[in-house]
Structure 1
Amino acid sequence: MNVLISGASVAGPALAYWLHRNGARVTIVERADAVRPGGLPIDFRGTAMRVLDEMGILAELRSRATGSGDTAVVDADGNRIATMPREIFGGDLEVPKEDLTRILYDLTKDDTEYVFGDTITALTQDTDGVRVEFEHAPPSTFDFVVGADGLHSRVRALAFGPETGFTHSMGYAFTAFSMPNYLNLEHSGLSHVAGDRSVNVGAIRNNTEAMAFFMFPAPDVPRNREAQEQAVRTAYEHVGWEAPNLLAAMSAATDFYFDELSQIVMPTWSTGRVALVGDAGYCASPMSGRGTSQALLGAYVLAGELSTQDSHEKAFAEYEHALRDYVAANQEMARQARDMFGLTPTQEMFDAMAAAGTDDDSSDNVTLKDYVRLAQ
């Protein structure tokens, strides 16, 4: 089995690991020139922890844990009005995203062909495979192509149609960037909610730096950095607390990130010999706190089904059957969190959110097949 994966963030390398372990030959094409640095801290929970353990990287990830604690919610004068428990967005384990992407790359680089600085431009399918054209490399044919290329997936656009047919905007934009830890935060964060927008800052990299995170209503999302920065400044020009100081640090950030908050909802995650995994097929938005876990479980299940079913049609169908309810629950959770914006933050609200994901019936505890045993 010869598989091409588009995207070298989390879902792509995780899928490559499981596919190679099951005997496949894998190539990953990535538009960036190298593994992307930076990104928000990411967390794992529930069944995703077991998958990380089976990949042999859980112990190393634990050694990279952020150790982040609770976030104090403050008013415009900096007075604490509530505490957001770390369990809401910290999961069972939280690590810097760049640590996870580097670990996954190191885990797979010797067995996977990585092609950086290139992208797919065309896909042509027949009953035997997929002919792929690239921006730079010569055309090649693969048994399967998998889009693990995120919210704005190129593979999805080529194989399924325009992004507008599957993107469900949540009406917000968000931006994040790192900066000096001038507030001297120690494994903790601060958050200020001003009506329908919030500004947040938390310690990262063992308190040596901080990361600012803004979320605000945005019907239109600009695509160049200058316009994006201006949109953030406009949205927060009348917001107090530390907003002016955080905005002043924005232009100097080398890891500035800006995007819309959207979900991807599709009637199917595959067409012919092309499939999608992670945000490309079922983004729940950062409001869910489950995007990384979805990517890991999606990779595990997709590779497992391809290695144990007697046809790719059955494999893709079983892949969807195993994860549809899990994805739907995560997307609903994100919508509920979005709907809380505009409400006055209370301790009761945050305590209820923290408690919702801790019981045995949590959607994070997904029952999946033991593909290692089935493949034997």
Structure 2
Amino acid sequence: MRTVLISGGGIAGPVLAHGLRRRGFVPTVVERAPGPRPGGQAVDIRGVALDVVERMGLLERVRRERTRMRGMSILDPDGREIDRSTEATFSSGRLDGDDVEVLREDLVRLVHEHTREDVEYLFGDSVTRLDEDANGVRVDFAHGPSRAFDLVVGADGLHSTVRRLAFGPEERFAEYLGSHLSVFGADNFLALDDWQMWLLDGDTGCGVMPVRGNTELRIAFGFRSDPRDRDLRDPDALRRTVVDRLASMRWEGARLAEAARTAPDFYCDAMAQIRMDTWSRGRVTLLGDAGYCPSPLSGQGTSLALVGAHVLADCLAGADGDHRTAYARYERRMRPFVALNQALVTENPGGPAPEASVERAKNAISLDG
């Protein structure tokens, strides 16, 4: 029996658990939240990541949950339309393509439902200590009793606890991109009908899209920032910063600010990439944003998580559980793919990457190694 603790119950962790369980491993997923996390922006599943979803048997269900935009308007700071498109949107790319845009919370729910019958989930808990010896890793938890596992995988996001415990402080690996992004939900007070609105106002930008049959909005608000600003590390101060900046906008500033002030699903974080010389140390390895976050600006974080989970499960099975061999193969296969997708952010700073670059990056790996 080969036991694997996976820290992180978002997308990468459960997908890895699914792949490991099918290959004879015994995975356990620990997640700090009390259940599958709600909220979040729309995410894209592109290129080879769609093949991962198909191999899981989830592609048709994911397609049924996809967003269905008719197009978008681009506004000036006063809310006047200066451009529009019925062919593509900034959030999802071309509307006639095979790629799928879905709300993050819907994808999280689907992969959890697909795995909960044969994967152990520990919700409302988190890893606090890792002690490795020749036989495995002893893991301490914030609430539950200590347990031993053969392997540990950190799939716990940009601010990964497993990465900090195994490799050191986040500051060693995070490359900040000079901006923050906030995402939150609201009622559809703009009466948008499958149509997105995007606005750039100085050093801030805002995108608004309707979801849930046009009954709700998802609002994304970005602004230039300095990661050394202490106010941007305090959650309450961070929300006040977003509210104040939204309130100063000429187009719908008051209503957008009130939505940010009251949103129960309010999220805001610095835009950053994680860059590491190795994703593995001993019996511990990292997956998705924990090891190679490309930032939401790339539009490829979810695809990297899905593909990385598949490749890691495949490598562990192919090495018959020999973690040294498996982790080396995992890095060898994934690193070129990660590099191309992280480069999407820096290729065209301040704007979307060229379509040709996205096409090349999203398909730059074979699932069968």
- After TM superposition, the score normalised by the length of structure 1 is 0.91
Farther-moved stretch of structure 1 (87-96 vs 13-22): 87-96
Structure 1 residues 158-177: aligned runs within 5 Å: 158-177=165-184
Q: 1:256 to 1:70 in 2, by over 3 A?
A: same
Question: In structure 2, what is the equivalent of residue 255 of structure 1?
Answer: 265
Residue 104 of structure 1: which of 82, 105, 111 is its match?
111
* CA shift for structure 1 position 332: 1.3
Question: In structure 2, what is the equivalent of residue 184 of structure 1?
Answer: 191
* Matching of residue 75 in structure 1 with residue 76 in structure 2: yes
Q: Is the 8 A contact 2:337 2:365 kept in 1?
A: no
Structure 1 residues 227-242: aligned runs within 5 Å: 227-242=237-252
Q: 1:155 to 1:75 in 2, by over 3 A?
A: same
Q: Is the 8 A contact 1:19 1:25 kept in 2?
A: yes
Unpaired segments of 5 or more residues in structure 1?
342-349, 372-376
Q: Secondary structure at the match of 1:103?
A: helix
Residue 282 of structure 2: which of 258, 264, 272 is its match?
272
Question: In structure 1, what is the equivalent of residue 88 of structure 2?
Answer: 86
Deviations 1:193-244 (A, max 9, x none): 0122101211111211111111001212634442112111343454321233
Residue 149 of structure 1: which of 147, 150, 156 is its match?
156
Residue 142 of structure 2: which of 135, 141, 144 is its match?
135
* CA shift for structure 1 position 34: 0.8
Deviations 1:351-370 (A, max 9, x none): x8345434xxx111133243
- Segments of 4+ moved more than 4 angstroms: none
Residue identity opposite 2:27 in structure 1? V
Q: Secondary structure at the match of 1:155?
A: helix
Deviations 1:290-337 (A, max 9, x none): 000000000000010000015211111111111111111111111234
| Number of corresponding residues | 358
Q: Secondary structure at the match of 1:306?
A: helix
Question: In structure 2, what is the equivalent of residue 4 of structure 1?
Answer: 5
Question: In structure 2, what is the equivalent of residue 115 of structure 1?
Answer: 122
Q: Is the 8 A contact 1:199 1:243 kept in 2?
A: no
Residue identity opposite 1:199 in structure 2? C
Question: In structure 2, what is the equivalent of residue 357 of structure 1?
Answer: 358
Q: Secondary structure at the match of 2:74?
A: strand
Q: Secondary structure at the match of 2:77?
A: coil
Residue 304 of structure 2: which of 291, 294, 298 is its match?
294
* Matching of residue 30 in structure 1 with residue 31 in structure 2: yes
* Matching of residue 366 in structure 1 with residue 364 in structure 2: yes
Structure 1 residues 197-346: aligned runs within 5 Å: 197-219=204-226, 220=229, 222-310=232-320, 311-337=322-348, 339-340=349-350
* CA shift for structure 1 position 69: 3.5
Question: In structure 2, what is the equivalent of residue 124 of structure 1?
Answer: 131
Unpaired segments of 5 or more residues in structure 2?
94-98
Farther-moved stretch of structure 1 (311-320 vs 55-64): 311-320
Residue identity opposite 1:306 in structure 2? L
Structure 1 residues 55-74: aligned runs within 5 Å: 55-74=56-75
Residue identity opposite 2:332 in structure 1? H
**What do you get for the CA RMSD once the two structures are aligned?**
1.7
Q: 1:202 to 1:103 in 2, by over 3 A?
A: same
Identity %: 43
- After TM superposition, the score normalised by the length of structure 2 is 0.93
Residue identity opposite 1:322 in structure 2? R
Cα distance in 1, alignment partners of residues 345 and 83 from structure 2: 21
Q: Is the 8 A contact 1:38 1:255 kept in 2?
A: yes
Q: Is the 8 A contact 1:71 1:86 kept in 2?
A: yes
Farther-moved stretch of structure 1 (140-149 vs 211-220): 211-220
Question: In structure 1, what is the equivalent of residue 96 of structure 2?
Answer: none
Cα distance in 1, alignment partners of residues 232 and 78 from structure 2: 32
Q: Is the 8 A contact 1:38 1:98 kept in 2?
A: yes
Farther-moved stretch of structure 1 (56-65 vs 123-132): 123-132
Residue identity opposite 1:78 in structure 2? G
Q: Secondary structure at the match of 2:324?
A: helix
Q: Secondary structure at the match of 2:91?
A: helix
Q: Secondary structure at the match of 1:191?
A: strand
Cα distance in 1, alignment partners of residues 252 and 199 from structure 2: 9
* CA shift for structure 1 position 80: 1.8
Q: Is the 8 A contact 1:87 1:354 kept in 2?
A: no
Q: Is the 8 A contact 1:66 1:206 kept in 2?
A: no
